[in-house]
Structure 1
């Protein structure tokens, strides 16, 4: 699932294609957490938007039963919200980079937060279900903007594995908090939609804080993490029609450069599978425990918080270990462990045992995302990173909607146990895609 400094300088015709240039080394990463001074506030603002995203992604798991009961709908229908959310992420991938390049990161963040406030306001008034689904599309647009701006910023600072780990850890804290608050509110008789008042307030806070933190970012940046490489402009054509044709051709050539970059394509597929498994577990494990383990809804609702607690702990702790022993082998180990634990949850009929296994699977899944971003950032040329990482984040994050949607459709026919074979298949696909990625150059931080 993330931005907008000034456009990079135009290239002369004898320059090499940036898509074939080697990735930047750590020495190119001039900016750190502490320099420029405002970067510390930008990282904090990024973490706050990640917290809000995590709160949003984890809450539906605890609210699904209440939403089904309120609208008298089945699994098939309620799963539409995941698809609408995914469509929002996908749509955002096509304009975030252009928008942030033209108006800057701060103003782009403002637009993203305004979209979130519109979506949450609509949900809070508890409209008919079609309006709720449409609101999740708007939320997808806003969340994708948060993700694109914030994650690309953190991934281009020095010591990025740790900083992205903190960023994703903040997302995990939101993931822990969401089910706890949602379950508590529903258990005390609050209407399910009232949970989103909290998200509305957070969106307003992030609008103010993030806009302030990023306001002078472009002026303070000494390096240009430019957008897509722009082909040479032909200054001989001055007519408006030819100018529009040239512009369209440049955009098309830039897009072709992007989708022909192997790390970008494989990265989007990897995050698609990862986010799919993560959100599917978060969204459907409670329904599985209620249907097949006969759990008490007021108690098993907290299992999702245990899963997100594991993710958060993993991102704050195992990310450091993975950075020391190597991100590539670590991801293979974490994926294999998560797959094994998923099998235990599927075949061990014990709510306490399943709850512990779910928490530990979150622990192993947690560091995978920051490890992956570190590898992608090392493989992708610097002048493509904003566009590439935005595409990876936006299209990849749509997996967090497609997998839960497919789980809901199949669960309606055969039962929620389908969550487990779907997740296992996604873990296997992750391992295969990770193996297909080229090895990054070694470098010193």
Structure 2
């Protein structure tokens, strides 16, 4: 038999290769397909690179900076309550007039809410939170001057605008992280509670001094420290760049984004975003109304003395503890269900504050109201991250946080207006009605991730 017709020997790889036909890539389409696949494979390898130790270190620095920002926001929210009586004495104004500080804060918050999405995309997350810190510092400086009442009110306008950015930016950043963010969200908002709890301890002392407004100098120092931390950590970069430095993968784009649909149009077309925003609007209103007016209520309706300001610290302290202590229950019962439980318990305790004429009993009940209200805000933020399309989480949570923060101004003003026409006892039925509204709104919030389009 001729050699070239002999069968190849099994197991001889070289002979097998020689016997296989060789087909040249003569088609230009096949060559182009391979050339396009090579960079795609390289990009895939880049996206799946393991998170390094340096990235993890950077992520923790970022988280610590965000916690400090939230601490500053909490400090500002917790200061006002013990000072309301002092403001009325110094400026000789009624409940309705002193409530103008909440209106100014509301205007500032709504202005920040309306512009947050655009300016952070336009100028970058890192730059805008840095500028926001200086806006808060300007407002605190006007407050610390102890000048005429209109100047003091204008200070709240600056504080509201800057705080809206700090609050929204911190929540949006943490909600955008991959994996289970419930613990980080809970810890960050517990830090908010620490700030809101510590602030009344300082403002109660300054409220009894002749230079009562100098308490706001502490605010200026804290917020300038915040600006320095942000400049060092985020270095005026965009949120996407900061997340990339921490090893976070890029978010998958929605079908609408691939078609060129504006991201903000997508966000505002989602019913869930508006439901959660109005829920937070009401919740934050309840939270800050209690912290801002409970001292006045206790002094006028329960015969509390100058030390009644510490009851506000009890409320914020309960809120702080609840955000950490109730984390296991949140996970066991499910975050969507547990909201109903916490709101109902808070409502029942608020009835005790209203109907039981006891100073000590009311003070204890207020602390437990804070305990059960505490976990609700971080739960909502975390729930938003689990039900909204990934690409839209940052913008949606930013809008929810900043719009919700406006409730911190609207409802305290309504309380002051009602108290001016009747008495501060109107605080309790208003709070109970707001809690009932929270139950209704939350029932319509979706429980599962919305399909991206």
TM-score higher than 0.5: yes
CA shift digits 1:294-316 (9 cap, x unpaired): 111x2211000000000000011
Is this contact kept in 2: 1:170–1:312, CA < 8 A? yes
CA shift digits 1:221-265 (9 cap, x unpaired): 5534599976856xxxxxxxxxxxxxxxx7xx6544322201100
Q: What does 1:417-432 align with in structure 2 at a 5 Å threshold?
A: 417-432=425-440
In structure 2, list runs of 5 or more residues that go unmatched. 1-47
- For normalisation by structure 2, the TM-score amounts to 0.82
Which residue of the partner structure matches residue 307 of structure 1? Answer: 315
Mapped pair 1:102 → 2:128: no
Is this contact kept in 1: 2:175–2:397, CA < 8 A? no
* Aligned-pair CA distance for 1:145: 1.0
* Aligned-pair CA distance for 1:325: 2.1
For the residue of structure 2 that corresponds to 1:371, the secondary structure is: helix
Bigger-Rg structure (1/2): 2
Q: Distance in 2 between matches of 1:195 and 1:166?
A: 27
Residue 200 of structure 2: which of 163, 170, 179 is its match?
Answer: 179
* Aligned-pair CA distance for 1:31: 8.0
Which residue of the partner structure matches residue 125 of structure 1? Answer: 145
For the residue of structure 1 that corresponds to 2:443, the secondary structure is: helix
Is this contact kept in 2: 1:97–1:227, CA < 8 A? no
Mapped pair 1:376 → 2:402: no
CA shift digits 1:249-285 (9 cap, x unpaired): x7xx654432220110001110011001101111111
For the residue of structure 2 that corresponds to 1:388, the secondary structure is: helix
For the residue of structure 1 that corresponds to 2:174, the secondary structure is: helix
Higher mean alpha-carbon deviation, 146-155 vs 90-99, is at 90-99
CA shift digits 1:42-82 (9 cap, x unpaired): 11111111111111101110001111111111110111111
Distance change in 2, residues 1:219/1:371 (3 Å): closer
Is this contact kept in 2: 1:67–1:192, CA < 8 A? no
For the residue of structure 2 that corresponds to 1:276, the secondary structure is: helix
For the residue of structure 1 that corresponds to 2:114, the secondary structure is: coil
Higher mean alpha-carbon deviation, 332-341 vs 92-101, is at 92-101
Q: What does 1:299-338 align with in structure 2 at a 5 Å threshold?
A: 299-338=307-346
Mapped pair 1:290 → 2:299: yes
Q: What does 1:330-409 align with in structure 2 at a 5 Å threshold?
A: 330-409=338-417
Q: Distance in 2 between matches of 1:288 and 1:97?
A: 38
Is this contact kept in 2: 1:165–1:319, CA < 8 A? yes
Which residue of the partner structure matches residue 280 of structure 1? Answer: 289
Aligned residues: 395
Q: What does 1:22-37 align with in structure 2 at a 5 Å threshold?
A: 35-37=55-57
Q: Distance in 1 between matches of 2:105 and 2:90?
A: 20
Is this contact kept in 2: 1:275–1:400, CA < 8 A? yes
Q: What does 1:17-166 align with in structure 2 at a 5 Å threshold?
A: 35-157=55-177, 158-166=179-187
Which residue of the partner structure matches residue 37 of structure 2? Answer: none
For the residue of structure 2 that corresponds to 1:94, the secondary structure is: helix
* Over 4 Å off, 4+ runs: 30-35, 225-233
Q: Distance in 2 between matches of 1:346 and 1:112?
A: 38
Which residue of the partner structure matches residue 168 of structure 1? Answer: 189
The higher relative CO (CA closer than 8 Å, separation ≥ 6) is in 1
For the residue of structure 2 that corresponds to 1:437, the secondary structure is: coil
Which residue of the partner structure matches residue 233 of structure 2? Answer: 213
Which residue of the partner structure matches residue 13 of structure 2? Answer: none
CA shift digits 1:150-205 (9 cap, x unpaired): 11112222321111111110110011101111112223x24231111011001110
